[in-house]
Amino acid sequence: MAGTVSKFCPTTTFENIKESRLKSLRNPNMLQFSGTSAMQYRLLCTKESSHQKLKAGSTIYAGSMDVERPWKTSDARLVLEDGSIWRAKSFGATGTQVGEVVFNTSLTGYQEILTDPSYAGQFVLMTNPHIGNTGVNPDDEESSQCFLGGLIIRSLSICTSNWRCTETLGDYLAKRNIMGIYDVDTRAITRRLRQDGSLIGVLSTDDSRTDEDLLEMAKNWNIVGVDLITGVSCDAPYEWSEKTDSEWEFKRGQHSTGEYHVIAYDFGIKHNILRRLTSYGCKITVVPSTWPASETLKLKPDGVLFSNGPGDPAAVPYAVETVKDIIGKVPVFGICMGHQLIGQALGGKTFKMKFGHHGGNHPVCDLRNGRVDISAQNHNYAVDPASLPEGAEVTHINLNDNSCAGLAFPKLKLMSLQYHPESSPGPHDSDLAFGEFIELMKTNKV
């Protein structure tokens, strides 16, 4: 076939190939080099770029150990607690890491996902097969660092194409000591997670560890009942004043002109939640997850936000007590983990879902008016609506499984959503929830 050969011609030299290549570039109709092929040329260029000296006029033979392969071979393993072993290629950091494997169905926004603190302790598998094509940039960060344990993808883009790109995904992960693997069957793993539920896994590039060693690590690790909030929360209170950049603002002219002081509990809060609240006219003080309720109430805020965060709400009873001490005294808005903590503070129960909700395409119905939003979600736990006391209303449900996606308790001036109204990444259907919180605070002021 034109342009391909099965082995090198013994009389081929690097100078021959370069000259032939230049001729072919000048003449696009040339499909074959003189005595060589495109693959042969790439192999030789790969050899030259690896800084191994190639003598002018030297002969290159098929099967020569001096010629380096231009492709990466499998050098990593994902071992799941069910005993399955998945061979893959590594990028980013190397080593051995254990975490809970979850799949995310978002088509875009991998950088926002990487920097979402709610993924602490987890490996995120992207169901979208092609990842890395837009690179990364400093504007799309949702927190100051990456908290997830690792990234699992099908195909890693070999180049980037975006005007905001400042570095490749692989370099970005390596600098942050985050492991990644690719060339693995993500569809098969996703089907396994949907069938069996979220599984603990171990990522490793360490050849000295046997498959049995890694399997033992997976079986002995547990994420349930672990306080993951403390590791992602801020250490001290700080003020937040940054709004959504005018370039990205999509609700121009509809925001409140009044200023409301909101205390935001950082259980792993995303930057775009803070930006959206600020854009709606709020002055925000962010406080650590362990900040006493009494100190919050001393500041006389117009409202309190309980943010998103990672892990099991039952593992942070101190946070539940804080919520109990605040609800009913000032208007309250809970998002994701904050929603679950409110559910427990009201006397309800939470439970671990089979494989959770992770992605930017979850349909949610507002039961108050029948409106359906496409939402961004990221949680493995949910509130059991049957356990809630009288007066608590289920306002939203997830239309995929009818799980509780929103609560309200008018008498206690609280509202909460199981999903992310800031939707970063994701659709902006639910941005109106921030406006509802503003109205809740405005009504309480009158």
Contacts of 129 (CB under 8 A, 6+ apart): 153, 154, 155, 186
Number of Cβ within 10 Å of residue 429's Cβ equals 17
Alpha carbon distance 225, 316 (integer Å) = 8
DSSP-derived secondary structure letter, 420: B
- Are 266 and 288 contacting, i.e. CB atoms less than 8 angstroms apart? yes
Catalytic residue numbers, as ranges:
336, 420, 422
Q: Is the peptide bond before 425 cis (omega within 30 degrees of 0)?
A: yes
To which H or E segment does residue 425 belong? Answer: none
Alpha carbon distance 13, 378 (integer Å) = 56
DSSP output for 110-137? HHHHHT-GGGBTEEEEESSSEE-TT-B-
Alpha carbon distance 93, 180 (integer Å) = 7
CB burial readout 15-54, b (16+ within 10 A) else e = ebbeebbeebeeeeeeeebebbbbebbebbeebeeeeeee
Alpha carbon distance 312, 291 (integer Å) = 19
DSSP 3-state of 262: strand
DSSP 3-state of 441: helix
Number of Cβ within 10 Å of residue 430's Cβ equals 24
**Lookup result for tokens 């259980």:** 267
Left, alpha or beta for 370 (phi > 0: left; psi -120 to 50: alpha)? Answer: left
- Are 153 and 178 contacting, i.e. CB atoms less than 8 angstroms apart? no
State how far Cα 137 lies from the chain centre. 15
Q: What is the dihedral of CA 162, 164, 168, 172, to 10 degrees?
A: -150
